[in-house]
Chain A
């Protein structure tokens, strides 16, 4: 299966640099829908509305504001945001090796695979194997979509996997989650331990499926049989082209340009 990469570059540390591409490891299983107009099934678009002006605003009129207090903002331009965005980078540089079991699963964000690019296969295999043997994970920084992520590189069935990690300040403190400590009675502890042991199984994710997703897919299948698909109305070129006179004059000029240049 040829998988489309979402990023191309090299992974490395000290003197090693292996060309790889990053592919996503998980496709979330929810069923997605488009929003349609009930009257004629045309696809609806999102527009931004200014309640003060009582009108829709165009993208050029939109800037970002950081809310400091209710209704008080610090406005930021795209240029200012760009000035603090990390440079696009073509490398995933491993900065240290760690034990993956030291990483609390609460830090796991999104899983990806690393696939070797042309010429990188041998070095890739070597790294995957050594990492599997030593059971270590590489900690690296990785710029994706204008954000710098902390990532863990692990070896998984002969391949390298990459998991983006949350930054520590994104993880909420759990101090208030656990109730105040009380002494557990030893009989209770033993009984609960026993019931847990009785329910022990090996983890088999294949046994479980998203029930709602399955029901929706069944429903869609049933509906397709009972009723034909509906069509969205054909759209006339409705992108704002400009005043009709101007567009006509431009079309005429373009025709002349093409004739003259034989383009």
Chain B
């Protein structure tokens, strides 16, 4: 195994297997992955900050097995921050928290291609700082349907006095986020609100939307998964790579991009690949900054 050491902020980080191609059908080595995370670090770090990280590791690349690692590996360097999180079963567990470039690259070196975080911070695990609608097109539905649902959802939320932001999931769907950033909002609130919204959407657009988890309910429709609004769930972090055939990124979009599609587009229309992600982030800044700071209150709760 080849090993290289890099110095970052006076800390020595061992990197291994840099030449290993982790996206074989596209051609994207671990060195390229680390370079992506180095370039995107200024944009992704604020979104990882303070959150318990779930590593989704692909040691053999995206075509091989993966595993979720919630517990922060015991062999971590001493400078990796951790937070104690109480798991389902009531047992406390140490999880990694990424707050600097060296920790981000350390995670990348573990082939943790996908970085998943909860909607709340480790210090206040029951307080979501945003609400999410995870739009997941079922078989027979795609980007046109998903875009349409996202735009209706944006308009509905706007009428309710709420600003919302959209990103690609990096897989098939879109994530619409409503920033809250209020310590008074609980997951019970976000769940009640998102479930009611999904229900209304389903009632008014029964051929386009379902709020039911069952796979056969989803055929040709977009599933609005509101149940992600839960303390025990994690979401792919904005700017994280996805383990697909190509290194697509979960990337923030402007609503205008969705409007311009006008119900058209194919599977890859809105997908943003690593190089474009860096280029667009550097040109436009963090389109998801408001998600971290904008204070909003859910009405009628």
Select which of A83, A239, A246, A263 is within 8 A of B193 by beta carbon.
A246
Expressed in whole angstroms, the minimum distance between the Cβ of B63 and any Cβ of chain A is: 10
Expressed in whole angstroms, the minimum distance between the Cβ of A178 and any Cβ of chain B is: 43
Residues of B within 8 A of A261 (CB): 152, 155
Could you say which of B7-15, B36-44, B195-203, B279-287 contacts chain A? B195-203
> Is A250's CB within 8 Å of the partner chain B?
yes
CB contact list, B219-271 vs A, under 8 A: 227, 230, 232
Chain A residues within 8 Å of chain B by Cβ, number: 28
CA A256 to CA B88, docked complex, whole Å: 42
> Is B75's CB within 8 Å of the partner chain A?
no
Q: Are A242 and B199 in contact (CB under 8 A)?
A: yes
CB contact list, B60-80 vs A, under 8 A: 65-68
> Is A174's CB within 8 Å of the partner chain B?
no
> Is B177's CB within 8 Å of the partner chain A?
no
Q: Are B68 and A250 in contact (CB under 8 A)?
A: no
CA A239 to CA B152, docked complex, whole Å: 22
On chain B, which size bracket covers the interface? 20 to 34
Residue of B nearest to A249 (CB): B300
Q: Given contacts A253-B159, A256-B159, are A245 and B200 in contact (CB under 8 A)?
A: no
Q: Given contacts A253-B156, A253-B159, A257-B155, are A246 and B199 in contact (CB under 8 A)?
A: no
Residue of B nearest to A240 (CB): B195
Q: Are A245 and B152 in contact (CB under 8 A)?
A: no
Expressed in whole angstroms, the minimum distance between the Cβ of A248 and any Cβ of chain B is: 8
CB contact list, B149-181 vs A, under 8 A: 152, 155-156, 159-160
CA A59 to CA B214, docked complex, whole Å: 12
Q: Are A263 and B152 in contact (CB under 8 A)?
A: yes
Residue of A nearest to B213 (CB): A59
CA A247 to CA B160, docked complex, whole Å: 11
Residues of A within 8 A of B204 (CB): 254, 258
Q: Are A257 and B159 in contact (CB under 8 A)?
A: yes
> Is B1's CB within 8 Å of the partner chain A?
no
Residues of A within 8 A of B159 (CB): 252-254, 256-257
Residues of A within 8 A of B232 (CB): 60
> Is A79's CB within 8 Å of the partner chain B?
yes
Q: Are A250 and B301 in contact (CB under 8 A)?
A: no
> Is A251's CB within 8 Å of the partner chain B?
yes
Main SS class of interface, A: helix
CB contact list, A205-251 vs B, under 8 A: 239-243, 245-247, 249-251
Residue of B nearest to A82 (CB): B68
Select which of B88, B152, B195, B299 is within 8 A of A249 by beta carbon.
B299
Q: Are A247 and B227 in contact (CB under 8 A)?
A: no
Residues of A within 8 A of B193 (CB): 242, 246
Select which of A75, A239, A245, A256 is within 8 A of B199 by beta carbon.
A239
Expressed in whole angstroms, the minimum distance between the Cβ of B66 and any Cβ of chain A is: 6
Q: Given contacts A63-B88, A242-B193, are A250 and B160 in contact (CB under 8 A)?
A: yes
Q: Are A254 and B66 in contact (CB under 8 A)?
A: no
Residue of A nearest to B152 (CB): A257
> Is B192's CB within 8 Å of the partner chain A?
yes
Q: Are B301 and A60 in contact (CB under 8 A)?
A: no
Q: Given contacts A83-B66, A253-B159, A260-B155, are A247 and B200 in contact (CB under 8 A)?
A: yes
Q: Are A77 and B88 in contact (CB under 8 A)?
A: yes
Q: Are B68 and A80 in contact (CB under 8 A)?
A: yes
Select which of A79, A251, A253, A254 is within 8 A of B68 by beta carbon.
A79
> Is B89's CB within 8 Å of the partner chain A?
yes
Q: Are B301 and A243 in contact (CB under 8 A)?
A: yes
CA A150 to CA B23, docked complex, whole Å: 30
Q: Are B196 and A250 in contact (CB under 8 A)?
A: yes
Q: Are A242 and B196 in contact (CB under 8 A)?
A: yes
Q: Are B227 and A254 in contact (CB under 8 A)?
A: no
Expressed in whole angstroms, the minimum distance between the Cβ of A62 and any Cβ of chain B is: 10
Q: Given contacts A75-B89, A253-B156, are A246 and B230 in contact (CB under 8 A)?
A: no
Q: Are B195 and A253 in contact (CB under 8 A)?
A: no
Q: Given contacts A63-B88, A79-B68, A80-B68, are A243 and B192 in contact (CB under 8 A)?
A: yes
Expressed in whole angstroms, the minimum distance between the Cβ of A57 and any Cβ of chain B is: 13
Expressed in whole angstroms, the minimum distance between the Cβ of A134 and any Cβ of chain B is: 36
Could you tell me which A residues sit within 8 Å of B by CB distance?
Answer: 59-60, 63, 75, 77, 79-80, 83, 239-243, 245-247, 249-254, 256-258, 260-261, 263
- 5 tightest Cβ-Cβ pairs between the two chains A and B: A242-B196, A253-B159, A246-B300, A245-B300, A257-B155
Could you tell me which B residues sit within 8 Å of A by CB distance?
Answer: 65-68, 88-89, 152, 155-156, 159-160, 191-193, 195-197, 199-200, 204, 213, 227, 230, 232, 299-301
30 cross-chain CB contacts under 8 A:
A59-B213, A60-B191, A60-B232, A63-B88, A77-B88, A79-B68, A83-B67, A239-B199, A242-B193, A242-B195, A242-B199, A243-B192, A243-B301, A245-B300, A246-B192, A246-B193, A246-B196, A246-B299, A246-B300, A246-B301, A247-B200, A250-B156, A250-B197, A251-B200, A253-B156, A254-B159, A254-B204, A257-B159, A260-B155, A261-B152
Excluding A59-B227, A243-B300, 14 further A-B contacts by CB distance (< 8 Å) are: A60-B230, A75-B89, A240-B195, A241-B196, A242-B193, A242-B196, A249-B299, A254-B204, A256-B159, A257-B152, A257-B156, A257-B159, A260-B155, A263-B152
